[in-house]
Amino acid sequence: MSLATIYKEIKHELNAIEKLLETVVEADQDILTQASSQLLKAGGKRMRPIMVLLAAQYGERDREDVRKIAVALELIHMASLVHDDVIDNSEMRRGQQTVKSRWDNRVAMYTGDYIFSRSLKLASEIEIPEVHQILSHTMKEISLGEIEQIEDQYNWTQNVRTYFLRIKRKTALLMAISCQLGAIAAGAPEKVCRHLYYFGYYTGMSYQIIDDVLDFTATEKQLGKPAASDIKQGNVTLPTLIALRKENTAERLMTALKKGDKKTHDWDAIIQLIKDSGSTSEAEKVSTQYIKKAYDQLTYLPQTKTTKHMERIADYISKRKY
Amino acid sequence: MSLATIYKEIKHELNAIEKLLETVVEADQDILTQASSQLLKAGGKRMRPIMVLLAAQYGERDREDVRKIAVALELIHMASLVHDDVIDNSEMRRGQQTVKSRWDNRVAMYTGDYIFSRSLKLASEIEIPEVHQILSHTMKEISLGEIEQIEDQYNWTQNVRTYFLRIKRKTALLMAISCQLGAIAAGAPEKVCRHLYYFGYYTGMSYQIIDDVLDFTATEKQLGKPAASDIKQGNVTLPTLIALRKENTAERLMTALKKGDKKTHDWDAIIQLIKDSGSTSEAEKVSTQYIKKAYDQLTYLPQTKTTKHMERIADYISKRKY
């Protein structure tokens, strides 16, 4: 299952989004222009704009506000990626050098700030107070998630609930509001907006869990960045947490994680222990449970072509291999 | 001239602002709570809230929106200081360790993001579209200013106009909109809002120039951070730019700045050259010209006690010694 059918269907609208993205981040400054256009060119699946555009089909889809929301949310996503690369000290993303690697952390910080401010500028043109409240609440939650990610790094004894809250803030909320705000901007009924919010939320949870699984199971080429970089950076994800709770693995894994420090850990052995524990397929099951919840939300919506597309998105997310 | 008269006059309102500031940045997370409260305790003169509160006196000053604007703008200011400390690699500010020094650059980046998101949340509660447009435009300009500061570092041949545009973005705009938005939130007449904007703008330009002069002329104790840290960090300010244009200094100064690199420069000799050139007092004169323009804006406003206070602010800024 791929997103091709959807891309084809909303091609014109997506092209308009792409153009608006380019226009919005244009700047007079060399560094900014280069950094922003590198980010744009690196692409990405534009999941959030797609969600906005599809959600808008439950209302009056052609509104200018819909396009602004789509671009604003993609920019927020891009800005948070740039800042994440600083936190994770990442050199590569989507097969491209990161901003922090091509320039430095300071440039990455301010490029993020700039892209974020452009997003705000666009959002400020939307005269629906609810939109601003939802956006600013989400921004707060995202930044809390970012700080938590630092606080929880290398904390191998953390609660699984901590992980779920973190990925909610890191990923699921932005997808939730992509669906919700697309519908709100298009003037869709309140009930529809609510179910779309939860559809986006569950889909986002599933998406991030799969991401965390793939970090262990996919190749460097598939990922566009070194494999197993999460755990090496101290980011404790679901496969690790499950492995740490498995009878046959827990003790050996914890011993390996306690031996030495992050620089002297035998990462290859640690990663192999986690893979061998079968925890990645258990994590996949958790992801599938979330996708089921996402499907469930769709049953409350009108059974249209759009809802079929939403199903395709959930399907793609649950089955993607990289 | 001090701000004591004004503090006394609007003490209750300022206390309310202080409480709201504390409430707004409260977080469940240790690092964030500590970092934010350290920032709050480090104080500052609360120039921007004072400007908002005074400007609101040209309308219905008791509106809740006025307080929200005051807190939102102070938070934006604080967030940008935290990010600036990363750029400047500063260990100390206002006599206190900076966030980036007590924790690290990543924590500083995210503390800034968090405080900024709190500001947005508060601002989003204000249902005046113009406020959001002004705020987001200013955010964009501020982040452009931050990137410019990186681009222009150690560029000794930069234009003086580049400097003025940079300090406009770095400082003057936020003061301009403090006055403007305070008045808008209080429902003051449009003409009043416009003159207050320019009053804040000219005052802010003057303020930053004095700041840049004091960096050369005040002591470490007065500054709460090492003296002459601007030039050592490659931040090219007005006294340096003027010295580089003075017949008796230019050549020797440029030779000194070109010799070796930023680590091997003879900074003491360079700083002495600039001080001896008399460029700091010339920069002060430029600052005074801006203050005159600020005063001039006040003549268009009703000649009330509030306008007298605005004069006091301008007076304080033009005469402050640290």
Residues 70-129 of B with CB under 8 A from A: 83, 86-87, 105-107, 109-111, 113-114, 116-118, 120-121, 123-125, 127, 129
Nearest to B70 by CA among B50, B98, B94: B50
Query: How many angstroms separate the CA of residue B115 from the nearest CA in chain A?
Result: 8
Q: pLDDT per residue over A28-60, tens digit each? A: 777 888 888 778 877 788 999 999 999 999 998
Q: pLDDT per residue over B191-240, tens digit each? A: 999 999 999 999 999 999 999 999 999 988 888 878 888 999 899 999 99
Question: Residue B3: its pLDDT value, please?
Answer: 84
Nearest to A9 by CA among A299, A305, A311: A305
Residue B228's region, left for phi above 0, alpha for psi from -120 to 50, else beta, is left
The whole-angstrom separation of Cα B261 and Cα B249 is: 20
Residues of B in contact with A146 (CB under 8 A): 110, 113-114
Residues of B in contact with A137 (CB under 8 A): 121, 124
Cβ-defined contact of A31 to B147 (cutoff 8 Å):
yes
More confident of the two residues A57 and B319: A57
Q: Is A150's pLDDT higher than 90?
A: no
CA distances from A18 to A45, A65, A258, B195, B306 (A): 12, 15, 47, 40, 49
| Strand B92-93 relative to strand B96-97, pairing | antiparallel
Which among B83, B118, B143 is the nearest to A117, CB-wise?
B143
Give me the mean pLDDT over the B84-97 stretch. Answer: 77
Which among A118, A123, A140 is the nearest to B121, CB-wise?
A140
Cβ-defined contact of A125 to B144 (cutoff 8 Å):
no
- The set of residues, in sequence order, having a beta carbon less than 8 Å from that of A87 and lying 6+ positions away, is A146, A149, A150, B106, B109, B110
Residues of B in contact with A128 (CB under 8 A): none
B262 vs A: CB within 8 A: no
Question: Residue A1: its pLDDT value, please?
Answer: 56
Cβ-defined contact of B109 to A86 (cutoff 8 Å):
yes
Neighbours of A311 (CB within 10 A): 15
Mutate to test the interface with A, among B144, B147, B162 (most CBs of A within 10 A): B147
Hey, which residues does B97 pair with through a beta bridge?
B92
Cβ-defined contact of B114 to A144 (cutoff 8 Å):
yes
Helix (H, G, I), strand (E, B) or coil at B97: strand
Tell me chain A's radius of gyration from C-alpha atoms: 20
Which among B107, B121, B147 is the nearest to A32, CB-wise?
B147
Tell me, what amino acid is at A174? L
Q: pLDDT per residue over A223-233, tens digit each? A: 887 888 899 98
Please report the ipTM that was assigned to this predicted complex: 0.79
Cβ-defined contact of A106 to B150 (cutoff 8 Å):
yes
What is the DSSP track for A169-191? IIIIHHHHHHHHHHHHHTT--HH
Of A179-183, B26-30, B61-65, give the lowest mean pLDDT range.
B26-30
Q: Taking CA atoms, what residue in B is nearest to A87?
A: B106
Q: Is A109's pLDDT higher than 90?
A: no
Residues B231-247, buried b or exposed e (16+ Cβ, 10 A)? bbebbbbbbbbbbbebe
Q: Is A9's pLDDT higher than 60?
A: yes
Nearest to A143 by CA among B119, B68, B138: B119
Half-sphere exposure of A319 (CA within 13 A, CB side): 9
What are φ and ψ of residue B251, in 5° steps? -65, -50
Question: Residue B107: its pLDDT value, please?
Answer: 83
The whole-angstrom separation of Cα A224 and Cα B7 is: 57
**E strands within chain A?**
92-93, 96-97
A269 vs B: CB within 8 A: no
Of A30-34, B44-48, B125-129, B156-160, give the lowest mean pLDDT range.
A30-34
pTM above 0.80, yes or no: yes
Give percent of chain A above pLDDT 70.
99
Mean of per-residue pLDDT scores for chain B:
91
Question: Residue A103: its pLDDT value, please?
Answer: 80
Confidence of residue B1 (pLDDT cuts 50, 70, 90): low
Mutate to test the interface with B, among A24, A31, A116, A120 (most CBs of B within 10 A): A120
Which among A120, A143, A144 is the nearest to B139, CB-wise?
A120
Mean of per-residue pLDDT scores for chain A:
91
Token pair recorded at residue B48: 């921007």
Of A268-282, B20-34, B84-98, B293-307, give the lowest mean pLDDT range.
B84-98
Cα angle for residues B178, B182, B188 (degrees, 5° grid):
135
Q: pLDDT per residue over B243-270, tens digit each? A: 999 998 999 999 999 887 777 788 999 9
